[in-house]
Amino acid sequence: MSLDNLSINFATVRQAGSFGAIVDACLRHGITAISPWREHVAEAGLVEAARIVASNGLRVTGHCRGGFFSAADAAGRRAAIEDNRRAIDEAAALSASCLVMVVGGLPKGSRDLSGARQMVEDGFAEILPYARQQGVKLALEPLHPFYAAERACLNTLKQALDLCDKLGEGTGVAIDVYHLWWDPELEEQVARAGRNGQIVAHHICDWLVPTVDPLNDRGMMGDGVIDLGRFRAMIENAGYRGPQEVEIFSHRWQARPVDEVLATIVDRYQTVCQTITGAAAAT
């Protein structure tokens, strides 16, 4: 089965080391789509990272990450805007399909959630013209409600899509199974996103029972309770046939040799992550 639609988010295999070392590990397993983090790019240098991408014919399914718009004061919000511009430049240089946006939670000391949400909307409005100019799509990623205070006050697909509708062209959503699998309105909202061409990234992993650490105990596909085949079918029915990007934050998996992790991912991708018709495997 083709692995063209399998992408590895660098957070999944950060134990491999540098940008180049992670790419080499992916290539050893026949994987040619990646999603790096800014720190990996910074360490390698943007020019060198872009060279590695181009010379290996890699597809960059997302650059991680922009966002964190909500801040306690105007200087903090201004700094976030500037930082997002740099992230957009990087995403453009890497020819990334999107810049993944984790929007930020409550500013320190604040209990004003709707105020934070307004800051996020304002932040997007401010950087969007620049992103459009650079040809970089912004992927709004709704995060699990568990992260509302600390990471992202965008917490359902509906909320993210409503914001995309407001912002307009150049925006879309990153649909991560971990964050959204529980949502009773999931199917309806995925269909809506597909109808409007707003699905720009699809992240996979699994939800473990029990989840002992909400930050770093995500599961390998197949080890948890998410029906990944059904989830993928839902996305394909919505018209999306793009990559599945594996993003597993896990102390357990980060303690294992990178080749074991990647071999397991390839195996699970070919089994539990496919729809019955296997359309996901075709590019």
- The contact set with a second copy (CB under 8 A) reads 106, 110-113, 117, 144-146, 148-150, 153, 155-156, 158-159, 181-184, 207, 209-211, 214, 225-227, 230
* Shortest reach from residue 161's CB to a second copy, in Å: 12
Cα–Cα distance measured from residue 25 to residue 52, given in angstroms and rounded to the nearest whole number = 13
* Shortest reach from residue 183's CB to a second copy, in Å: 7
SS3 164: helix
Indicate the residue among 56 and 211 with the shorter CB distance to a second copy: 211
In Å, what is the CA distance from 83 to each residue of 11, 31, 258?
20, 30, 31
* CA 228 from centre of chain: 16
Task: Give me the helix-helix angle, 74-93 and 113-134, nearest 10°.
Answer: 30
* Shortest reach from residue 267's CB to a second copy, in Å: 18
SS3 171: strand
In Å, what is the CA distance from 230 to each residue of 8, 99, 181, 234, 235?
21, 27, 11, 6, 9
* Shortest reach from residue 163's CB to a second copy, in Å: 10
* Shortest reach from residue 155's CB to a second copy, in Å: 6
Indicate the residue among 224 and 243 with the shorter CB distance to a second copy: 224
Indicate the residue among 47 and 209 with the shorter CB distance to a second copy: 209
Indicate the residue among 61 and 70 with the shorter CB distance to a second copy: 70
Indicate the residue among 55 and 114 with the shorter CB distance to a second copy: 114
